[in-house]
Amino acid sequence: MGGEETESGYPIHTHDVIIIGAGLTGLRAAIETVDAGLDTAVISKVHPLRSHSVAAQGGMNAALGNAQAGDSWEDHAFDTVKGSDYLADQDAVELMCKNAPGAVIELEHFGTVFSRLEDGKIAQRPFGGGMFPRTCYAADRTGHNILHTLYEQLMGRELEQSKESKGSKGSEGSKGRKRGGRITFYEEFFVTSLIKSGISSGEKGPAKGERCVGCTCINLADRTLHGFSCRALLLATGGFGRLFTRSTNALINTGDGASLALRAGVPLKDMEFVQFHPTTLYGTNILITEGARGEGGYLLNNKNERFMKAYVPKSMELAPRDIVARSIQQEIDEGRGFDNKYVLLDLRHLGKDKILERLPGIRLISVDFAGVDPVEEPIPVQPGQHYSMGGISVGNDLATELSGLYAAGECSCVSVHGANRLGGNSLLETVVFGKLAGQGIGKNLTSSGSGGRVGEEDKKAVLERLSEEAERVKALLTRDSGVKMAGLRDELKKLMFECFGVFREGKKMEEGLEKLLELKSRYPEVYIDNKSTVFNQALIYALELRGLFDIAEAVARGAIARNESRGSHARTDYPDRDDENFLAHTIYRLEDRGAEGKAKGITEGKPEGKPGIKPEGKPVLEYLPVRLGKFPVKERVY
In whole angstroms, give the CA distance from residue 179 to residue 169: 10
The 10 Å Cβ neighbour count of residue 573 is 12
Residue 39 maps to which CATH number? 3.50.50.60
Q: What share of the chain is helix, strand, coil (3-state, %, to 5)?
A: 40, 20, 40
Instruction: Determine the pLDDT at residue 4.
Output: 62
Instruction: Determine the pLDDT at residue 466.
Output: 94
In whole angstroms, give the CA distance from residue 81 to residue 88: 6
Residue 506 maps to which CATH number? 1.20.58.100
In whole angstroms, give the CA distance from residue 90 to residue 80: 9
Instruction: Determine the pLDDT at residue 163.
Output: 77
Domain identity same for 237 and 334: no
Nearest to 343 by CA among 332, 351, 359: 332
pLDDT in tens, 423-434: 999 999 999 999
The dihedrals phi and psi of 298, each to the nearest 5 degrees, come to -110, 150
Average pLDDT over every residue of 232-257: 96
Instruction: Determine the pLDDT at residue 433.
Output: 98
417 neighbors 390 (Cβ within 8 angstroms):
no
**Which of 401, 435, 457 represents a domain boundary (last residue)?**
457
pLDDT in tens, 615-628: 578 999 999 999 99
Average pLDDT over every residue of 31-58: 95
Look up the domain containing 320 and give its range.
276-385
Q: Say if 225 falls within a structural domain.
A: yes
500 neighbors 559 (Cβ within 8 angstroms):
yes
Task: Look up residue 558 and give its amino acid.
Answer: G
Q: Say if 196 falls within a structural domain.
A: yes
Domain identity same for 486 and 591: yes
Q: How much is the mean pLDDT over the chain?
A: 91
Domain identity same for 288 and 195: no
Is the sign of the CA dihedral 442, 448, 452, 457 positive or negative?
Answer: negative
385 neighbors 276 (Cβ within 8 angstroms):
yes
Q: Which entry of 134, 321, 504, 557 is annotated as an active-site residue? A: 321
**How many domains does the structure of the chain reveal?**
3
Instruction: Determine the pLDDT at residue 596.
Output: 44
pLDDT in tens, 545-592: 999 999 999 999 999 999 999 999 999 999 999 999 999 999 999 987
Q: Say if 83 falls within a structural domain.
A: no
Instruction: Determine the pLDDT at residue 7.
Output: 59
In whole angstroms, give the CA distance from residue 270 to residue 249: 20
Percent of the chain predicted with pLDDT > 90:
85
Q: At what angle do helices 537-561 and 506-521 cross, to 10 degrees?
A: 150
Q: Say if 110 falls within a structural domain.
A: no
pLDDT in tens, 449-507: 555 565 678 878 899 999 999 999 999 999 999 999 999 999 999 999 999 999 999 99
Task: Look up residue 72 and give its amino acid.
Answer: S
Instruction: Determine the pLDDT at residue 446.
Output: 86
Instruction: Determine the pLDDT at residue 602.
Output: 42
Average pLDDT over every residue of 507-520: 97
State the pLDDT confidence band at 1, using cuts at 50, 70 and 90: low
Instruction: Determine the pLDDT at residue 576.
Output: 97
Domain identity same for 295 and 261: no
In whole angstroms, give the CA distance from residue 95 to residue 323: 26
Domain identity same for 364 and 282: yes
Instruction: Determine the pLDDT at residue 606.
Output: 34
555 neighbors 496 (Cβ within 8 angstroms):
yes
Instruction: Determine the pLDDT at residue 583.
Output: 97
State the pLDDT confidence band at 206, using cuts at 50, 70 and 90: low
In this model, does residue 22 exceed pLDDT 70? Answer: yes
**Which of 385, 401, 427 represents a domain boundary (last residue)?**
385
pLDDT in tens, 368-404: 999 999 999 999 999 999 999 999 999 999 999 999 9
Q: Say if 638 falls within a structural domain.
A: no
Residue 347 maps to which CATH number? 3.90.700.10
Residue 141 appears among annotated catalytic residues: no
559 neighbors 569 (Cβ within 8 angstroms):
yes
In whole angstroms, give the CA distance from residue 485 to residue 538: 8
pLDDT in tens, 139-181: 999 999 999 999 999 999 988 877 777 765 544 555 556 666 8
Q: Say if 429 falls within a structural domain.
A: yes
Exposure string of 175-188, with b = 16+ CB inside 10 Å and e = fewer, is: eebeebbbbbbbbb
Domain identity same for 504 and 418: no
Q: Say if 424 falls within a structural domain.
A: yes
Instruction: Determine the pLDDT at residue 176.
Output: 55
More confident residue, 17 or 611: 17
pLDDT in tens, 277-287: 999 999 999 99
The secondary structure of residue 249, as a DSSP letter, is S
Nearest to 599 by CA among 150, 204, 7: 204
SS3 at position 346: strand
Preceding peptide of 327 cis, ω within 30°: no
CA–chain centroid gap for 337, Å, is 31
Model pTM score = 0.92
Domain identity same for 196 and 261: yes
Domain identity same for 327 and 351: yes
More confident residue, 8 or 298: 298
Average pLDDT over every residue of 345-349: 97
Instruction: Determine the pLDDT at residue 457.
Output: 80
Domain identity same for 315 and 417: no
In whole angstroms, give the CA distance from residue 231 to residue 211: 9
394 class by beta-carbon count within 10 Å (0-12 exposed, 13-18 middle, 19+ buried): buried
**Which of 425, 457, 489 represents a domain boundary (last residue)?**
457
Domain identity same for 373 and 439: no
57 class by beta-carbon count within 10 Å (0-12 exposed, 13-18 middle, 19+ buried): buried
Instruction: Determine the pLDDT at residue 158.
Output: 85
Q: Which residues pair with 384 in a beta bridge?
A: 277
Nearest to 586 by CA among 297, 273, 339, 284: 273
Q: What secondary structure, in 3-state letters, does 181-211 show?
A: CEEEEEECEEEEEEEEECCCCCCCCCCCCCE
In this model, does residue 448 exceed pLDDT 50? Answer: yes
In this model, does residue 635 exceed pLDDT 60? Answer: yes
State the pLDDT confidence band at 533, using cuts at 50, 70 and 90: very high
In this model, does residue 609 exceed pLDDT 70? Answer: no
Instruction: Determine the pLDDT at residue 604.
Output: 37
Domain identity same for 370 and 447: no
Instruction: Determine the pLDDT at residue 5.
Output: 61
Instruction: Determine the pLDDT at residue 607.
Output: 33
Domain identity same for 181 and 255: yes
Q: Say if 634 falls within a structural domain.
A: no
